Structure 1
Amino acid sequence: MTIIDDIESRLTHHGDKGNVIYRHRIATRITHWTWAIALFFLLLSGLQIFNAHPELYIGKQSGFEFDNSVLSMRAMQAADGKVDGYTTIFGQSYKTTGVFGMSGPADNPSYRGFPAWATLPSYQDLATGRVIHFFFAWFFVAAFLVWFVASLISGHLRRDILPSRADIRGLPKSLSDHLRFRFHHDGRYNVLQKLAYAGVLLVIFPLIILTGITMSPGMNAAWPWLLDVFGGRQTARTIHFVCMALLVAFFLIHIFMVVAAGPLNEMRSIITGWYRTDPEKKEEHTA
């Protein structure tokens, strides 16, 4: 009996528990945790790199003579001499002192896009941030390739990730069940999970990898067509940033859903592969 089994036995009656099935293969579990670790370091080091120039553009060029900025996090001085942090999105500025643009103690503020606690290293060090970022980027890419090949061979991609027509027809009911926190533990991914995982694994992951490659001058020499595909290095940087923001949003929703659906069962399945299904409903017999 595992530790999780022991905890479950204390929380539920034996007769109320369903069957335990093998849900996640080892390749899925290893790549899941590899991505979790890699993305943690990629996020913090990526924000360190962003802070070197906390502004995003659309187009192939940027500079003082261009007006193509879509996001900036800067400290600006008002007419009264007071300095505050501002985040500007599509020309609309918002005061974000303490978080974006300017953060830290009032007597010794730091003028930077993201605050020190959100970057790696915490102090401004572009060179170290780039070393960390590129190191974990290759782990991320390797894990993606392993997962993709393994999923094709095992049928995991077709069976569990790509939604079928029947899944799409059941989308309204699945959405309604989730809004009412009614979860069905039958060992299969529901249509919302499939759509979310397909979006992350087959759209966001490839995009974040390709836009990252597009920002590399060395890769531009080898694959110059990437600059045309993504509309230039500056647009690729913006898309890369948006993908990162979407992954953070997915992570927060993912953690919330794991807790809501039953964290013990969900964690066991992604650690050991074994998952407990709902107990079978017994038919009621009337005289």
Structure 2
Amino acid sequence: MPTRLAHWAWAVCLFFLLLSGLQIFMARPDLYIGQQSGFSFDNTVLSIGAAFDGDSMRGYTEILGHRFDTTGWLGAIPVNGNLHAKSFPGWMTIPSYRDLATGRVVHFFFAWALVVTLGFWLLSSLVNGHLKRDILPGPNDLRGLGRDITDHARLRLRHGRRYGALQKLSYFVVMLLLMPLMILTGLTMSPGFNAFAPWTLDLFGGRQTARTLHFVVMLLLVAFFVVHVLMVLLAGPVNELRSMVTGWFRIDSAEDGQ
């Protein structure tokens, strides 16, 4: 039960964090490496913007010095038939219009909700053995990882009582590495937290690097979500969703006989 509750709480938190985070990002749609950005040097690794090509506006996304035309998707967005200089379309942000203050309020609320949920899940998983049994990969899991990856690539998906090696490793990376890294890099961007724990700036190589890492972790979590949903659909959405809601799960007949 605690795992299922945390699962749905994470889904809600990450949805609002993603869309409100993109709203905040629009205030400065650039990512840097280092302590600071400046005019006398260029440490930009990503930039989203708009520029005029003659009389027409074009949106662009620049990654490590390579510029791509993203008109209509990023940088220059159609609004009522006309292109406007805007990093993301309205459906990708909360609120859908430019409102940094509201975006920050929503983002911080769900950020702390995520922290509380992660703490609740970690404590309950230590108590009920879920962490050791289902999340931490053991030697047998690592030895069987290659075969499990091959089975997933061939869509040979098993319905068993235990998580497979790839599942364990994926959840371990997301829950115990990416989630804490997302929280810690978010805190590092706060001047108030820097005063309390200045070592975080040294740990991440500066506030701008922490912001870039925060963005990269967000992309990794979105990628995990897409793969997670795809696996649910391929494994049988009725069975998978029923297990997420009720805890009842149909397993393969071969494992029933064990």
Match of 1:278 among 226, 244, 252: 252
In the alignment, structure 1 residue 68 sits paired with structure 2 residue 39: no
Q: CA deviation at 1:282?
A: 10
Task: Give the counterpart letter for 1:123 in structure 2.
Answer: Y
Partner of 2:219: 245
Larger Rg: 1 or 2? 1
Q: Deviations over 1:175-212 (max 9, x none)?
A: 12111111111211001111111110011000000000
- Mapping of 1:185-264 within 5 angstroms? 185-264=159-238
Pair 1:126–1:177, CA change in 2 (3 A): same
Partner of 2:34: 59
Find the aligned partners of 1:229 and 1:172 in 2 and give their Cα distance. Answer: 33
Query: Is contact 1:47–1:119 with CA below 8 Å preserved after alignment?
Result: yes
Flag structure 1 segments of 5+ consecutive residues without an equivalent: 1-25
Partner of 1:163: 137
Pair 1:274–1:60, CA change in 2 (3 A): same
Query: Please, what TM-score do these two structures have when normalized by structure 1?
Result: 0.87
Partner of 1:27: 2
Query: Is contact 2:94–2:103 with CA below 8 Å preserved after alignment?
Result: yes
Identical-residue share of aligned pairs (%) = 57
Partner of 2:21: 46
Task: Give the counterpart letter for 1:237 in structure 2.
Answer: R
Say which SS state the counterpart of residue 277 (structure 1) adopts: coil
Partner of 1:21: none
Partner of 1:93: 67
Which of 1 and 2 has higher RCO (CA within 8 Å, sep 6+)? Answer: 1
- Mapping of 1:134-173 within 5 angstroms? 134-173=108-147
Find the aligned partners of 1:238 and 1:87 in 2 and give their Cα distance. Answer: 15
Number of aligned residue pairs: 257
Flag structure 2 segments of 5+ consecutive residues without an equivalent: none
Q: Deviations over 1:21-60 (max 9, x none)?
A: xxxxx11011111000010000000000000110000000
Say which SS state the counterpart of residue 84 (structure 1) adopts: strand
Shifted more, 111-120 versus 140-149: the winner is 111-120
Query: Is contact 1:54–1:112 with CA below 8 Å preserved after alignment?
Result: no
User: How much is the aligned-residue C-alpha RMSD, in angstroms?
Assistant: 1.5
Query: Please, what TM-score do these two structures have when normalized by structure 2?
Result: 0.96
Runs of 4+ in 1 over 6 A off after TM superposition: none
